Amino acid sequence: MKPVIDVLEQRISRVLSSVTEQPDAAALVKTATDPRFGDYQVNGVMAAAKRLKTNPRQLAEKVIEELDLSDICQTPEIAGPGFINLRLKPEYLAEKLLEINADTTHVGIDKTGGPKRMVVDFSCPNIAKQMHVGHLRSTILGDALCRILQFEGHTVIRQNHIGDWGTQFGMLIAYLKQTSPEIIERPDSVHIADLEQFYRNAKARCDADRDFAALSRQEVVNLHEGNPETLNIWRHIVDESREHYQPVYDTLEVNLNQDNERGESFYADRLAGLVEELKGKGLAVESDGAMCVFPEGFVSKEGQPLPFIVQKSDGAFLYATTDLAALKFRIDELKADHIVYVTDARQKLHFEMLFATARLAGWVPEHVALAHVTFGTVLGEDNRPLKTRSGENIKLRDLLNEAVQRARTVVEEKNPQLDEDRKTDIARAVGIGAVKYADYCNNRTSDYVFSFDKMLAMDGNTAPYMQYAYARVKSIERKAAGKDVDIQSELSGIATLNLTEPAELDLARHLIRYGEVIANAMADYRPNYLTTFLYELAQKFSGFYNACPVLDANAQSRPTRLLLCDLTARTIAHGLGELLGIRVVEQM
RNA sequence: GUCCUCGUAGCUCAACGGAUAGAGCGUUGGCCUCCGGAGCCAAAGGUUAGAGGUUCGAAUCCUCUCGGGGACGCCA
């Protein structure tokens, strides 16, 4: 079903256009800023009146005369300087709830009318290093965006642009050859238990030993030239690294695996040609020995043009080159018509220049949209980027383990009678859910302070609160049998509703807004719109739960209330589970 | 120095150019013979950093100032 707000916008805009004789007059329907103003408000009349130099209230009168919303709203009211306030009819709410109920797979939300091929670039850890807290936001934000886009009906191509092809590999390969010479014959026999330590050791040797440094450089050359022995070891390092980061994705319940990987190495043999092409087009020129593109509008310190360096003075390529190659590949071969990059805000300039350069080169057709979805930093309690006490990056694995452990303690305290497996499962859902939810519920552009205590709190806008709301509905369902209530038969074929209590209506009005909120969240790539909606839903459900008995309700009210419970549970499960990748549990 | 970004209640944060700027935490006061009190209801708390401007209307857009964070030629 189409969101009510869109239906209203369309219908009122049409009337406003005809009354004002201005074809592009927009109704500007928004959700009401205050319940006293009804459910939706029309803001566009005042702007239109201004253009016509007429009285806005009088114009609003005319619009209302022409407008027929009787199937949706009660009589519209004019208020203030020229707002039109709209209140949905209970009959309309009932009709919509039944529609949602009938849609068992898609919670009453239409697929997009214009499906696209969307490439989403996210997570992107460096191989040969542990994933740390800095990868958290890109990974889960990207995953949520993919889930939502997919739900909307787009074709989503997840791309994990892993860092598997840098000069650091020379040193890692050289180090493995020295410390585990058997790797040359049998790469599989060497297991890297601690990636971080491995990297540090190699780096230390490289810094201390000139001969080793020379070997490292030679291995870089070998790698680029495709030397089979070096390549084998490199491949092994990549495989070993995957053993470390795949479990993190699994724990996070993020849909990423080897199939989504297309790392820097994939583009390695395209770079030289790409730079040649840029040179040929007169875009890349030499500056201080490096090959640079100078896209218009980018200036540096002294007002000099800012370079986008595509080849270093020593001939090596760098991330700008790889990113260009990836962009080109995604358009030419993946046939993307929308590419979304999910990285932290510090890379903003880089992506602006990347997009500008690609456009200059003529690689971006008109219909292709490029977006950089930025986010802020995860901070510690000291308001500095989150680190361990000794100043190191916090490993994502450790962070998640702690969250689960803390959740486990709470479950143990609240529900000791549950069996062990159940407790373990709940602790996982709650702990991981808390970390993800805490991230999603903040505006992605701002930094946020990471706090286990806050994200695991049972009060407030947190995952546990949401999961609790869900578990409470499920508890009602479990209790039903004991009270001789057959939910199945009361809900099957339900054709009319009896919405009368304020708390019922309030909950109903909120439930039907789900599709509108998803659209809003996606238009701006902002999951916090979704968490806010879900939180409000849980609050409204609690209000309803307190005010309206369900199982003990009379025959007039009970089916309606059972349906409200069911739709609330389905919406929470969908929003949390399907769109945000946060598991709900029946009991907690 | 240039550019980007942020500055909203004691704290953490919302607010899609709209009406009297909203939540949560914390504080204060209510609500358990009742479907999970891990809850609900209510109160107090604000010159939206400051100054101009645009607009019928500005936390939101523009300009400047102050303050935090970030980026700015061979790292990603």
Residue that is last in its domain, among A88, A104, A133: A88
What residue spans of A445-557 are helical by DSSP H? 452-455, 463-480, 487-491, 502-511, 514-523, 527-547
| Mean local confidence (pLDDT), A77-84 | 93
Q: How far is the CA of A407 from the C1' of B62 (A)?
A: 49
At residue A138, the pLDDT reads 96
Q: How confident is the model at residue A57 (pLDDT cuts 50, 70, 90)?
A: very high
- The count of domains in chain A is 2
A313 CB and strand B closer than 7 A = yes
Distance CA(A254)–CA(A252), nearest Å, equals 5
Q: How far is CA A554 from the centre of its chain?
A: 43
Within 7 Å: CB of A550 and strand B? yes
d(CA A534, CA A532): 5
A86 band by pLDDT with thresholds 50, 70 and 90: very high
Of A56, A88, A120, the position where a domain reaches its end is A88
Count of Cβ atoms closer than 10 Å to residue A16 Cβ: 27
Residue A563 to residues A100, A191, A261, A523, A585: CA-CA distances in angstroms? Answer: 10, 55, 43, 30, 20
Q: What is the DSSP letter of A161?
A: -
| Residue A227 included in any domain | yes
Domain that holds residue A202: 168-255
Q: Nearest nt (C1') to A41 (CA)? A: B18
Task: Give the CA distances from residue A91 to residues A77, A122, A427, in Å, rounded to whole numbers and listed in that order.
Answer: 19, 44, 42
CA distance A369 to A110: 23
Q: What is the pLDDT of residues A465-482, one digit of tens each?
A: 999 999 999 999 999 988
Q: How many Å apart are CA A412 and CA A470, to the nearest integer?
A: 19
Pick the closest to residue A253 from A156, A340, A146, A336 (CA basis): A146
Query: A203 in a domain, yes or no?
Result: yes
Specify the pLDDT at position A322. 97
Nucleotide nearest to A311 (CA to C1'): B74
Number of H helices and E strands in chain A, helices first, is 22, 13
Of A81-90, A239-248, A448-457, which range is least confident?
A: A448-457
Give A81 CA → B18 C1' in Å.
10
Distance of alpha carbon A214 from alpha carbon A503, whole angstroms:
74
Question: How does pLDDT run across A111-150, given as a tens digit for each residue?
Answer: 998 999 999 999 999 988 889 999 999 999 999 999 999 9
Sign of CA dihedral A572, A578, A584, A585: positive
For A6-53, the pLDDT digits (tens) are 999 999 999 999 999 988 899 999 999 888 899 999 999 999 999 888
What is the three-class DSSP state of A530? helix
The A 129-168 residues near strand B by Cβ under 7 Å are 163, 166
Q: Is residue A25 part of a domain?
A: yes
Looking at A361-482, list the stretches that DSSP marks H as alpha helix, in order from N- to C-terminal side: 396-414, 420-440, 452-455, 463-480
Q: In this structure, is residue A194 part of a structural domain? A: yes
Residue A211 falls inside a structural domain: yes
| Residues recorded for chain A | 588
What is the per-residue pLDDT across A169-198, written as a single tens digit (0 to 9) for each?
A: 999 999 999 999 998 888 888 888 888 889
Q: Is residue A267 part of a domain?
A: no
Q: How far is the CA of A195 from the C1' of B58 (A)?
A: 52
Q: Which residue has the tokens 């000099």?
A: A304
Residue A232 lies in a domain: yes
> For A233, phi and psi rounded to 5 degrees?
-65, -40
pLDDT band at A550 (very low <50, low <70, confident <90, very high): very high
Q: What is the pLDDT of residues A366-418, one digit of tens each?
A: 999 999 999 999 998 888 888 888 888 899 999 999 999 999 998 888 888 88
Q: Which of A48, A66, A88 corresponds to the end of one domain?
A: A88
Domain assignment present for A327: no
What's the sign of the alpha-carbon dihedral A193, A195, A198, A200? negative
A234 and A226 Cβ atoms separated by less than 8 Å: no
pLDDT digits (tens, 9 = 90+) for A481-514: 888 899 999 998 899 999 999 899 999 999 999 9
Q: How far is the CA of A343 from the C1' of B37 (A)?
A: 42
Distance of alpha carbon A457 from alpha carbon A434, whole angstroms:
9
d(CA A271, CA A325): 7
Q: What is the CATH number of the domain that holds A13?
A: 3.30.1360.70
ipTM of predicted assembly, 2 dp: 0.94
A161's CB contacts (< 8 A; 6+ apart) are A121, A124, A262, A263, A264, A326
Structure tokens at A222: 């070998």
Nucleotides of B under 7 A from a protein CB: 1-2, 4-6, 12-20, 22-26, 34-41, 55-57, 69-76
User: Chain A, 499-538: which CBs lie within 7 Å of strand B?
Assistant: 520, 526, 528-529, 532, 535, 538
